[in-house]
């Protein structure tokens, strides 16, 4: 499956738009990770615990989007975007969305 952030794919043409597809996940922070992050905040540097959590969330959201696109019969997704929203203190949603399409060379 081809996935791009642009509205078109060079060398391909969209022959059919199948509609919006999305995938999301909601993650909560972990007390143990918060303590480590607090210590990193004091001494500086990357908070790798959070970096890993966000990367995992992004991959899970993208996997769910691709499952939805495949179920529609798409062979590509154009206009991919990611967004986040706070759900409650310590928890956030990561949403991936785009347009499922069928493309040909």
Tell me what the mean pLDDT of segment 88-98 comes to.
90
pLDDT for res 88: 80
Residue pair 84/95 in contact (Cβ under 8 Å)? The answer is: yes
Kindly list the domain boundaries of the chain, sorted by start residue: 2-104
Closest C-alpha to 79, from 96, 58, 61: 96
Residue 61: C-alpha distances to residues 21, 23, 33, 56 (Å)? 11, 5, 22, 9
Domain 2-104 classified CATH 3.30.70.2660?
no
pLDDT for res 27: 86
| Mean pLDDT lowest among 64-73, 82-91, 94-103 | 82-91
Residue pair 97/81 in contact (Cβ under 8 Å)? The answer is: yes
What is the DSSP pairing of strand 13-28 with strand 91-104? antiparallel
pLDDT for res 43: 64
Could you read off the pLDDT of 15-67 as tens digits, one per residue?
Answer: 999 999 999 999 886 655 555 556 556 666 777 777 888 899 999 999 999 99
């Amino acid at each position: 499956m081809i996935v791009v952030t642009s509205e078109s794919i060079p060398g391909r043409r969209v022959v059919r738009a199948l509609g919006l597809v999305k995938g999301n996940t909601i993650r909560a922070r972990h007390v143990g990770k918060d303590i480590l992050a607090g210590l990193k905040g004091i001494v500086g540097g990357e908070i790798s615990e959070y970096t890993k959590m966000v990367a995992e969330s992004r991959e899970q959201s993208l996997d769910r989007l691709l499952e939805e696109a495949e179920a529609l019969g798409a062979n590509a997704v154009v206009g991919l975007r990611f967004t986040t929203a706070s759900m409650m203190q310590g928890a956030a949603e990561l949403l991936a969305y785009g347009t499922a399409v069928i493309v040909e060379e």
